[in-house]
Amino acid sequence: MTATPTFPDLKPMPGLPMPGLPMPGLPMSGLVLDGLTLSLAGRAILRLSLRVEPGEIVSVMGPSGSGKSSMLAAICGTLDPAFQMAGEIRLDGRRIDVEPPELRRTGILFQDDLLFPHLSVGGNLAFGLAATVRGRKARRSCVEEALSAADLEGFADRDPATLSGGQRARVSLLRVLLSHPRAVLLDEPFSKLDMALRSRFRAFVFHELRSRALPALLATHDHEDAKAAGGKVIELESPGAI
Amino acid sequence: MIFRLGPPLLLAVLLFPILAGLTATVLPAFGYWPALGGTTFTLDPWRALLALPSLPRSIGVSVFVGFITTLVSLGAVMLLMAAFMGTRVFGLIRRLLSPLLSVPYVAVAFGLAFVIAPSGLIFRLLSAWAPGLERPPDLLIINDPFGLSLAGGLVLKEIPFLFLVALAALPEVDAVRAFGSARTLGYRRVAAFAKVVMPRLYPQLRLPVLAVLAYSLSVVDAALVLGPNTPPTLAVAVLRLAEDPDLELHFEASAAAILQLAVVLWAIGVWLVLERLADLIWGRWIVGGGRFFFEAAARVVAPLLAVAIAALVALALISLMVWSVAATWRFPAISPQAFTLDTWRHELSVAWPIILRTLLLGAAVAAFAVIITILCLENETRRGVPPASVFNVIYIPLLVPQIAFLAGAASLLIALDLDGNSFGIGLVHLVFVLPYVFMSLSAPWRAHDPRFRVTALLLGASPWRALWAVRLPMLTRAILIAGALGFAISVSQYLATLLVGAGRFETVTTEAVSLAAGADRRVIGVFALLQAMLPFLGFAMALILPALLFRHRRGLRET
């Protein structure tokens, strides 16, 4: 396995495993979709059972409308109420499909970096930092460490709008990682980047995910992404063809 | 949890005063108002009302003003859109017309009066060429018996309103692409617009257009300044009856108020029938193949129109400004013979409590309206549901004539001993402020990228934190603008303050309108300008505050 994460030691959150420690192989670990079925107006548009091991990046591919985004929304808890969901979603043995989004400990990366424009880079990064990290100095040093590890030293007080696309993408990933998720969802996060940036950023994201042994689910329609992810590849059918 | 209170609160604030007020107007209209000795239902008030000789003319003038204002405003807006859509001038026109929305009707009315009156600016300019014009000509321009100057004043405000509403609706009907396609098929601008864009755009405009119709048919404050006097418009007639010291006339006043409501409903019905007719004729014309429609005329008229509107309003405001600092300004001089700041000094020293009161009331009402709106919108966000049609209820205060339920609401508040105090007045102001604040804020709110909220939640923030720390800061500008709009609406309320305040609660607007009867244009100038400046202050704050707060955040300056 690669080096331990470069974040300062955090006290474990009650009831949850120590952040960052890999626990592969145990039947309780990782992200599990158990008979996840999504229906709209009585018609099933997605039926999936899937297991994502810690450190594995599973790619879900399919044309538009095949339900990739709905699947991700169901996992993170922001599914449109018009959909009906059946089945279970478990993360590290714990059922999360009955939890509200803010308690599921899943992180998400979208196509756009979605950095909060009214906060500085440091403010964005600190947003997801646990409340157990107390005091401005401690929080600040967490943020600074994360920034230096990503080659963005000194960017803490910058206005996000002044960063380049690549820098913003990196900050966006750091923001997710600083909230110590137990699984990460990727909603085509590379598709808006230009070719050169794309493979570099992709490598950066996958490296960080693997080194923290986080299970990840990647929705994409780029086969290069799936190849680089190296994990299982699930092909979703077009709508209506379950 | 608290957000679930939003929609019921909205409904309560909007509907309860109106329903209660209407009930309290309908009952006396049929003779039942125990406090005044009316204990049985009777048609006597109606008999007395219909016996008024001036009634048919009042109704006639009101209906005429209503339809003329609506038709001219709608036509002008369509023309402006057809002529300039897709050109660079379009943005210029929008920027020119937006500020006009915040200038209250009364200020515009007064300013216009100063410009077009026989002793006004236009005639003074004319006198430079026309010899023998030593005295103002004896023409009844302001307060003309047909209500044309009233219609003119209303049109000046309704055109910017409809234009901006239409502008907001354009993207929803994919107008630009349809327009472009039609033109590539050989249709000239006006024809393309009329045949392809209008049929799609109009349904989005229907409610605002009906609001314009209802308003211009039943407006009171502008009619007091510019409208005919003998006989006055129906709304003013109702006001006179309601204000009459003879309490017996209260029943007749109520009947007249219900009549006003009936006339507005009838007018709306007529308009909808006209829509159907137009639909038929238009439909056949659309597929007829003609590619021209008064194109040359439109090319000439449209820019003139845009310039004329802006110029008139500018002139109106300038007249107000000059009059307010004039010492003596006899006809036919173009500028005052002497200037003085005494009028300002005197009026401000006397009127500053009134100004303060107007400011505080407006700010409080606007704040409440913004809070209720945010409650409703956040509730909608949390439940993840699309906009409920229940929110169409916000159009009701814009369609029901104010005079029809305010008189009743005032009587109710008197019965509850709540009249004359700021709480009751604030509540009634809220009825008119809330629709505008809701309309203004709901679009930016719903257009806000929902993924920001999702991101915040998944970073571990509670829904409260996602609201406070992410959505509200990002929508600061939109919230402040909605608040400024609400403030402006409250400042410009006349009838609500007058009737519910039982004449004891003075705001800048009530003072300004009561001066219309007087002849001192300098004092009128001061008050009308004050009335115009207060909303302007609100909007200035709405623009300056975010620029200050977010001066280091470029991402928020591009909204």
Domains of chain B: 2-28+58-556 (1.10.3720.10)
Mutate which: A91, A115, A127, vs B, most B CBs within 10 A: A127
Sequence-distant (6+) residues with CB within 8 A of B509 are B104, B106, B221, B358, B491, B492, B493, B494, B497, B531
∠ CA A61-A63-A66, nearest 5°, is: 85
Distance spanning both ends of chain A, measured CA to CA: 39
Query: What pLDDT, on the 0 to 100 scale, is given for residue A14?
Result: 41
Residue type, B170: L
Cβ contact, residue pair B459, A160, below 8 Å: no
Beta-sheet strands, E only, within B262-350: 326-328, 338-339
Chain A nearest-CA residue for B448? A114
Contact B423, B13 (CB under 8 A): no
Tokens of A45: 């548009």
pLDDT tens series, chain B, 559 aa: 788 888 888 888 888 888 988 888 888 888 887 777 777 888 888 888 888 888 999 999 999 999 999 999 999 998 888 888 878 777 777 777 777 777 888 888 888 888 888 878 887 777 777 766 677 777 777 888 888 989 998 998 899 889 888 887 887 778 788 888 888 888 888 888 888 888 888 988 898 899 999 999 999 888 888 888 888 999 999 988 888 888 778 888 888 999 999 999 999 999 999 999 988 888 888 777 777 777 777 778 888 888 888 888 888 888 888 888 888 777 767 777 788 888 888 888 888 899 999 999 999 999 999 999 999 999 999 888 888 777 888 888 888 888 888 888 888 887 777 767 788 889 899 999 999 899 889 888 988 999 999 999 999 999 999 999 999 999 998 999 899 989 999 998 888 888 888 778 888 888 888 887 777 888 888 888 888 888 888 888 888 898 888 888 887 775 4
A58/B261 Cα distance (integer angstroms): 66
∠ CA B146-B151-B154, nearest 5°, is: 155
Model pTM above 0.90:
no
Tokens of A236: 């979703």
Sequence-distant (6+) residues with CB within 8 A of B199 are B282, B286
Beta-sheet strands, E only, within B275-406: 326-328, 338-339
Query: Is the C-alpha dihedral spanning B37, B43, B48, B52 positive or negative?
Result: positive
Query: What pLDDT, on the 0 to 100 scale, is given for residue B172?
Result: 76
Angle between helices B88-102 and B55-84 (to 10 degrees): 150
B559 vs A84, more confident: A84
Say if A77 is an interface residue toward chain B (CB within 8 Å): yes
Q: Could you give the residue ranges of the DSSP H alpha helices within chain A?
A: 68-76, 121-127, 136-149, 165-178, 195-211, 223-229
pLDDT at A242 over 60: no
Q: Pairing state of beta strands A233-235 and A57-61? A: parallel
A46/A67 Cα distance (integer angstroms): 6
Chain A nearest-CA residue for B559? A117
Sequence-distant (6+) residues with CB within 8 A of B105 are B153, B154, B157, B219, B221, B222, B492
pLDDT at A4 over 50: no
For A88-130, the pLDDT digits (tens) are 999 988 899 899 999 999 999 999 999 999 999 999 999 988 8
Cis previous bond, B231, omega within 30: yes
Chain B nearest-CA residue for A103? B460
Closest-CA distance, A241 to chain B, in angstroms, reads 27
Cβ contact, residue pair B460, A77, below 8 Å: no
Cβ contact, residue pair A81, B462, below 8 Å: no
**Residue A118 is nearest to which of B460, B466, B556, comparing CB atoms?**
B556
Phi, psi at A173, each rounded to 5°: -65, -45
Say if A175 is an interface residue toward chain B (CB within 8 Å): yes
Contact B45, B254 (CB under 8 A): yes
Q: Give the residue-averaged pLDDT of A193-204.
A: 89
pLDDT at A15 over 50: no
Tokens of A11: 């006290």
**Of the listed ranges A165-174, A200-209, B405-414, the one predicted with least confidence:** B405-414
In chain B, what residues touch A174 (CB-CB under 8 Å)? none
Say if A122 is an interface residue toward chain B (CB within 8 Å): no
Residue located via tokens 């219900």: B258
Query: What pLDDT, on the 0 to 100 scale, is given for residue B132?
Result: 66
CB pairs under 8 A between A and B: 79
Cβ contact, residue pair A161, B555, below 8 Å: yes
Say if A194 is an interface residue toward chain B (CB within 8 Å): no
Chain A nearest-CA residue for B477? A118
In chain B, what residues touch A117 (CB-CB under 8 Å)? 474, 553-556
**Residue B452 is nearest to which of A105, A116, A130, comparing CB atoms?**
A116
Sequence-distant (6+) residues with CB within 8 A of B16 are none
Angle between helices B148-169 and B295-324 (to 10 degrees): 120
Chain B nearest-CA residue for A180? B459
Contact B64, B231 (CB under 8 A): no
B30/B32 Cα distance (integer angstroms): 6
